[in-house]
Amino acid sequence: MENPNSKNTVVWVIVIIVILVLGTWFVVRYNRNKTVAPSTETETTLDSVRNNLTVKDQFPGDIVFVSDLALNRPAFVVIHKENAGAPGAIIGTALFDTASTTGQVKLTEKTVNGKTYYAVLYGDNGNKTFTAGDDLPLTDTDGATVIMKTFKATTDLEDSKG
């Protein structure tokens, strides 16, 4: 006569083995399909250039002057109007290559005296044409903060650009 406890033990051992096999299969499959983005730190080390943008307060007008720029790959400087303390509508874009250190962004509408604007770095998806949603904002080395500078359009400046 068979012992009922040994039957239960065999069933439980089989159930545990099946759970372990299925769990391992899911973990392996998940990790195989997982895309790992390169870290900004590695990118910075490889290219020895950290993305950086400097835009100072500007005279009102239809051009924004970029006074300092460092890029580890081609990128767009995108000018946004302010909307409730955050970047709003896009009013200008310009593509810069890695050799650029200064430049200009031609605007589709003039900046207004006393208003705040945002200059944001966006990566190029490779087609050299800015497309919101396809070209994404670049972040600093910690990967958490978008590289962006605020500036004002004001007539209260010394006569210098950038």
- For 104-148, what is each residue's pLDDT tens digit? 999 999 999 999 999 999 999 989 999 998 999 998 877 788 999
Which architecture does CATH list for 49-152?
Answer: Sandwich (2.60)
Give the strand pairing for 63-66 and 103-106.
Answer: antiparallel
d(CA 29, CA 89): 42
pLDDT digits (tens, 9 = 90+) for 41-79: 333 333 456 889 999 999 999 999 999 999 988 999 999
What are the boundaries of each domain within the chain?
Answer: 1-36, 49-152
Residues 84-108, mean pLDDT to the nearest whole number: 94
Alpha helices in 34-125 (DSSP H): 40-47
Question: Which has the closest alpha carbon to 66: 118, 115, 132?
Answer: 118
pLDDT digits (tens, 9 = 90+) for 35-49: 444 433 333 333 456
How is 36-54 classified by DSSP, letter by letter? -PPPHHHHHHHH----EEE
Question: Which has the closest alpha carbon to 75: 141, 147, 145, 143?
Answer: 147
Tokens of 93: 């874009």
